[in-house]
Structure 1
Amino acid sequence: MELLQLDGSQGGGQLLRSALTLSLCTGTGFLMEGIRAGRPRPGLMRQHLTAVQAACAISGGEIQGATLGSTTLRFVPGPVTAGEYTFVIGTAGSTMLVLQTLLPAFWQARGATRLRLEGGTHNPLAPNADFIAETYLPALRRIGVCASVELESHGFYPAGGGAVTASVEPCTKLEQTVFASRGSLVSIRATALMSALSASIGRRELFVLGKRLDLSEEDLELRSVRPATGPGNAVLVRVEHEDHVELFTGYGERGVAAEKVAERVATAVRHYLDSQACVSEHLADQLLLPMALAGGGEFTTCTASDHLTSNAALIEKFLPVEISWKSDGEAWRVRVDL
C-alpha cells in the first residue's frame, strides 16, 4: 500500500492529529517523519501517543513508531467502528485534543458513539472543555455535526486527573457554511475558576476584567470547582454575538500575578472586539478540517497564524480542496474550495 509521505517538522502536534483524523476519514495511510522536530521536547508526548493509540483502536489500524519520544510514525487505518470507548492519557495531556482527533471519524461512522476521556481538561496549550462546549461544537452544529461534551471533573495542568464524556451521532451530510459576520454584541461574561486555591486570586482577576471590559457585577462570576488531583485557576471570558460565541481563557501560573493573567485575557478579547472577524485565531485553526471534509466553507478571522497555514498544506495532501486566505485590512478571509 502506498503511503502519504508527510513532514512533521513544519508544525507541532496539530499536524499529527490532523493527519490521524484525515487518515481515519479517507482510509489513506501515512508515514510522518520529524514529528514536532522544532519543539523543546520533540516527538510524541503522552497526549499525542494516546491520540495515536485511540485512532488505531477505533479503526483496527496498524501502527509503527507509537512510543513516547518517537519522531516517526507509520499509520494505516481500517474502517472506523462506532461504540463505547474509554481512553486514559494518564497525565495533564489534553483530553480535548484527543477528542478533536477522533470526532470527525465518529461522525462518519455507522452508529452513535460515547467516548470517555481522562486527563487534562484545562491546559494552557490546548482548547479547554469550556471552549469545546461553548464555541467549537456550536460552530460544528452549523456545519451539520451533532455532538456534545459533558465535563465530569476538572483537570488542570500539571496534575491533570479530569474527565469528560462526549457523545457523537453519525452525520449524513455536512453543510458548506460561511462564518463571515458575528452580528451585534449580546453579552460579555467573565468567570474565574478556582480549584484548591484562595478565592482572592479569582477576585483580583475579575476586578481587572470588569475594569478593562466595562463589565457589571452581574457579568462577573467566581466559581469554585471540585479539585481533581491538584490546584488550578482559569479565567474565562465568554463573548456572545448574535451569530457566534467565542471563549477566551487565561491560566494562573506560579510567579505570575493574578492581575497579569487577567490583563492578557482582556487584551485578547479587546483585539477580537476591535476587529471585524467572526472567529478567533484559535477557532480558525480548528474549522479548516471540518470545512474541508464538507467540501467547502468560508470564515473571517483576526490573523492567518502559522498553525492555520501549516494545517492547510497538510489537509490539501489528503483531500481535493484548495485553501486560500487574504486580508482586506480589517480581517483575514479564509476559503475552502473544491
Structure 2
Amino acid sequence: MIKIDGSIGEGGGSIVRLSTALATVTQEPVEVYNIRAKRDNPGLRPQHLEGLKALAKLCNGKLEGGEIGSTKITLNPNQVQGKKIGVRIKTAGSIGLVLQSLMIPAPLADSEVKIEFEGGATDTFFAPPIDYLNNVTLPTLRKMGYQGEVEQIRRGHYPKGGGIVRSQIQPLKKLKSLKLTEPGKIKSVQGISHCVKLPGRIAEKQASSAKRILSKAGYDAEIEVETYKKSEDPHLSPGTGIVLWAETENEVILGSSALGKKGKPAEKVGREAAENLVKQLETGCAVDQHLTDQLIPYLALAEGESEITSAELTSHTLTNIELVKQILGTEFEVDGEKGEPGRIQAKGRSDSAKT
C-alpha cells in the first residue's frame, strides 16, 4: 500500500486529490494521513469528500474514512470503467479541482467517461475557473493526445455555488510527451469577463481595465463580455471574474485569471488578471504558473521525455513533483528556485502506453 503524508508541502487538499488519482492509475491501494493537518479546519471538507466518492465510483474502488473532518483515508482502486458519474457539491467548493483529479485516470477507461456536476463553484479563489480549463488546460493536454471536453451550463459563485458542468473524456491508449520551452511571438490575446446577479457594467469595466493594461504592454486583446438580464439570470449567487489567455505562434497558451469580491473594484479585477498575464509573458517561458502544476502528472504518465519552461515554480508545483516521484517513481529534473521561472524535465513511465 502507498502511504502519503498529507501534511507535506502546502499540506492542502490537492495532496489527497493527486495521490488518490495516481493510485487509481496504478491500481494500487493508497492511504493518505494527516490530511490538511496545517489548516485551521483540518481533515476533509465537503468538496474533498465528494471528489473522493466520485473517484471511487470511477474505478469501482473501496473508500474508507470518507467522512467530513476525517484526517485519514484509504482507497483501494480497481479498473477504471467507462460510465456516467454524477457529482453533487452542496457547498461552493471548486468544481474545477474535483474535475482535475478525475481527468487524470479517466482516459484509462475502455469507453467514454461522462461526469456531471451539480452544485459547487465554477469560479472561486485558489482554484482554476472552468473558463481557464477550457481555454488553457485542455488545449495544452490535446497536444499530448488527450481527448476531453468540458461544458459550463451554469456558473457557481460563493456562497451558494449552484454550478452545473458536464464533461466527456475519451479513452486513450497512450499519452504523448510534451515539449513547451520556446513560446515564440504572441499571436493573440483573448479573454472572458463575466458577472452574474449584478449589473452588466461590472463585467464591461473588468474587460476595459484589462485591455488598457495589455495595450500598454503592446498586446491587443479581444475580451468577450458575458452578462445577464435580471429577469433571465439563472445563477444562485452574485459574482464576477475574468480569465485571459495568450496564444503564440508556436501554439503555446498561457493564462491568467482574477475574481471579484464585495468591495473590490471591477477595474482592479481586470488589472490584476492583465498584469499577471503580462508578468508571465515577460519571463519568456512557455507555461504559466498554474498550468505548470496541472501538467506534472501528465508529464509523468506520458511516453518518453517531456520538457517545459515555467513562468514560476510554485510550492504547489514542487509538491506535485514530489508526490508523483513517490507514487510513480518518475524521474524529474528541476532547474530553478521556488518563486522564480524554471525548467522542468520528466522521463515518462515505461508502461505509460496504458494511459
Contact 1:276 1:330 in 2 (8 A): no
Structure-2 separation of matches of 1:221 and 1:174: 33
Q: 1:108-147 maps to which residues of 2 (within 5 A)?
A: 108-118=108-118, 119-147=120-148
Contact 2:292 2:317 in 1 (8 A): yes
Q: 1:314 aligns with which of 303, 320, 323?
A: 323
The offset of 1:86, in angstroms, is 1.1
Question: Does 2:232 match 1:229?
Answer: no
Question: Does 2:255 match 1:247?
Answer: yes
Q: CA RMSD in A?
A: 2.0
Partner SS state of residue 203, structure 1: helix
Query: In structure 2, what is the equivalent of residue 5 of structure 1?
Result: 3
- Partner deviation per Cα, 1:242-289 (whole Å, 9 max, x = no partner): 212233111111122222222221221111121111010000000010
Structure-2 separation of matches of 1:285 and 1:267: 21
Task: Provide structure 2 residue ranges, at least 5 long, that are not aligned to the other structure.
Answer: 349-355
Q: 1:63-212 maps to which residues of 2 (within 5 A)?
A: 63-118=63-118, 119-212=120-213
Structure-1 separation of matches of 2:41 and 2:178: 38
The offset of 1:330, in angstroms, is 8.6
Contact 2:35 2:71 in 1 (8 A): yes
The offset of 1:67, in angstroms, is 0.8
Query: In structure 1, what is the equivalent of residue 332 of structure 2?
Result: 323
- Which one is further off, 18-27 or 242-251? 242-251
- Partner deviation per Cα, 1:10-55 (whole Å, 9 max, x = no partner): 1211111111111110011111111111223221111110111111
Structure-1 separation of matches of 2:51 and 2:172: 22
Query: In structure 1, what is the equivalent of residue 245 of structure 2?
Result: 238
Structure-2 separation of matches of 1:273 and 1:217: 14
Contact 1:8 1:16 in 2 (8 A): yes
Structure-2 separation of matches of 1:163 and 1:182: 34
- Partner deviation per Cα, 1:167-225 (whole Å, 9 max, x = no partner): 11110111111111222211123432010112232233233212211189972432215
Residues 257/317 of structure 1: CA separation in 2 closer, same or farther (3 Å cut): same
The residue type equivalent to 1:203 in the other structure is E
Structure-2 separation of matches of 1:218 and 1:142: 24
Query: In structure 2, what is the equivalent of residue 262 of structure 1?
Result: 270
Structure-2 separation of matches of 1:316 and 1:190: 35
Query: In structure 1, what is the equivalent of residue 352 of structure 2?
Result: none
Contact 2:196 2:227 in 1 (8 A): yes
Structure-2 separation of matches of 1:51 and 1:203: 34
Partner SS state of residue 314, structure 1: helix
Structure-2 separation of matches of 1:334 and 1:188: 25
- Partner deviation per Cα, 1:53-73 (whole Å, 9 max, x = no partner): 111112221222111111111
Query: In structure 2, what is the equivalent of residue 333 of structure 1?
Result: 343
The residue type equivalent to 2:255 in the other structure is L
TM-score by length of 2: 0.89
The residue type equivalent to 1:304 in the other structure is L
- Which one is further off, 249-258 or 284-293? 249-258
- Which one is further off, 208-217 or 141-150? 208-217
- Partner deviation per Cα, 1:124-148 (whole Å, 9 max, x = no partner): 2111111111111111111111111
- Partner deviation per Cα, 1:79-132 (whole Å, 9 max, x = no partner): 211111111111211112111111222201111111111221111211111111
Contact 1:276 1:331 in 2 (8 A): no
Structure-1 separation of matches of 2:142 and 2:209: 34
Contact 2:310 2:343 in 1 (8 A): yes
Structure-1 separation of matches of 2:176 and 2:128: 24
Contact 1:275 1:330 in 2 (8 A): no
TM-score by length of 1: 0.94
Contact 1:134 1:246 in 2 (8 A): no
Query: In structure 2, what is the equivalent of residue 214 of structure 1?
Result: 215
